[in-house]
Structure 1
């Protein structure tokens, strides 16, 4: 994957969980990663660790639910590096409740970060990629846009929206050499899921319903994202790659 040497890769939600693994994979492949989240201290700590290991990264604080902050992220990145080669939309949140318990504030919180944030990050970065006539965007959807388990109905809506706008942008931007794809991870062990992974009912459900018999690892998602952003996936756009241990095939 030496093709990423010198490439500028923006990863939202890049300071922890799947996003952190994605950042590490791209940096190992030679890219400069702009690590983005609402928590600048976490982003900076990861950037410092990567630089100490001989890689290159920088930190940026951005709340992707705020379009003005997204615009600043893109403008500052282009001003500093001159281009953006890859965008990975990894920022995401979840609140697990039964549908009758959700509030309007829950809807706004989840949808603003997961769907609105991913869409407008893609649009603002896409404007730069259109000028460049090149680029790759990979967004994290979810198994929950193919199925919808209990206590995740709003989360599932937000991730289904990602799958849909991925197709729309792939169609609109193909003429500019921009590829837009998404991945749909199944149950992956991360800080976002650790509370349910401690629940035997959930772990039994995951192992019994997943043909590979286990939850996934963040690196297994990161490897797929790296592939979709690479020239090895040059004829892939508008796709949704399930990384779910076979759940959707069972």
Structure 2
């Protein structure tokens, strides 16, 4: 894969998957605009290692003006953006059923995970259209890659807000946008990488809970929790026009072959268990 001088804009760059993805792109010669919402400490080592090709841009992901500004700033620094990688997202830790969920929680999750994604896509498409009109558009690695989730495929009880935001991204947005983006750039592609559990700080609580870990692995034949590098490699593959130039509109599972959610434990059946 060749990303030499490819301008990559990476949202949520300061998270576990974001940092690893940025590291891989930078190692392959890309110029990477590293978006962070507020805390960018995790990105300092990358900027120090790649001072000419890595730059941090801070913005509230669901703020229209902020997003338009950082895309303009990033384009001014590194030129037209070829690859947009959407990694950001929040997963509210508290288990809440839909009947008990506040509108504030629902709105916050949707605004960050889905509306923030929309704002980034819109800004990316507008700058790509301007680059094409000015005959300065990148010729390769023109793509959008979203990070979805198995929650968007199988659902996640007590986290319907998160599941709905990811499902909309993985299916409705990916499959619609793939047909629009080629009207701007003929080789542009849109795909999603959909992980299961990832060994990141956000999942630390689950990784230390044997019951939750069992549920995460029970329907996965490989019995593995993904590492950030697993997701990063899938993102790079789908971003590369050399490797995936004829792949668009897909959601690529990176989840050890998960077949669904484990809903019931033996004890959940009580007296009915002997009759089943």
**Root-mean-square deviation over aligned CA pairs:** 1.8
Q: Per-residue deviation at 1:194?
A: 1.3
Aligned mates of 2:144, 2:42 — CA distance in 1:
21
Unaligned 5+ segments in structure 2 are 133-137, 262-276
Residue aligned with 1:248, SS = coil
Moved over 4 A (4+): none
1:56 aligned to which of 46, 49, 53: 53
1:87 alignment partner in structure 2? 84
Q: Aligned residue for 1:214?
A: 224
In structure 1, the residue corresponding to 2:218 is in which secondary structure? helix
TM-score with structure 2 length normalisation? 0.84
Task: Please list the CA deviations of residues 73-96 of structure 1 after superposition, one character each: whole Å capped at 9, or x if unmatched.
Answer: 111111222210111000100113
Aligned partner (choices 149, 161, 164) of residue 154 of structure 1:
161
Measured in 1, the distance between the counterparts of 2:225 and 2:25 equals 23
Task: Using the TM superposition, give the Cα deviation of residue 249 of structure 1 relative to its aligned residue in structure 2, in angstroms.
Answer: 7.9
Residues 1:77 and 2:74 are matched in the alignment: yes
Matches within 5 A, 1:1-250: 1=1, 3-42=2-41, 44-51=43-50, 56-96=53-93, 97-99=95-97, 100-133=99-132, 135-163=142-170, 164-175=172-183, 176-177=185-186, 178-231=188-241, 232-248=243-259
Distance 2:159 2:49 in 1: 34
In structure 1, C-alpha distance between the alignment counterparts of 2:39 and 2:215, rounded to whole Å:
36
Deviation at 1:101, TM superposition (A): 3.5
Q: What secondary structure sits across from 2:201 in the alignment?
A: coil
Partner SS, residue 179 of structure 2: helix
Of 144-153 and 179-188, the range deviating more from structure 2:
144-153
Residues paired across the two proteins, number: 247
Distance 1:106 1:185, change over 3 A: same
Could you report, residue by residue, the CA deviation over 1:1-33 in whole angstroms, capped at 9, with x for unpaired residues? 2x2111111110001211111101101111011
Structure number with larger C-alpha Rg: 2
Unpaired runs of 5+ in structure 1?
none
Contact 1:167 1:239 in 2 (8 A): yes
If the length of structure 1 is used for normalisation, what is the TM-score? Answer: 0.93
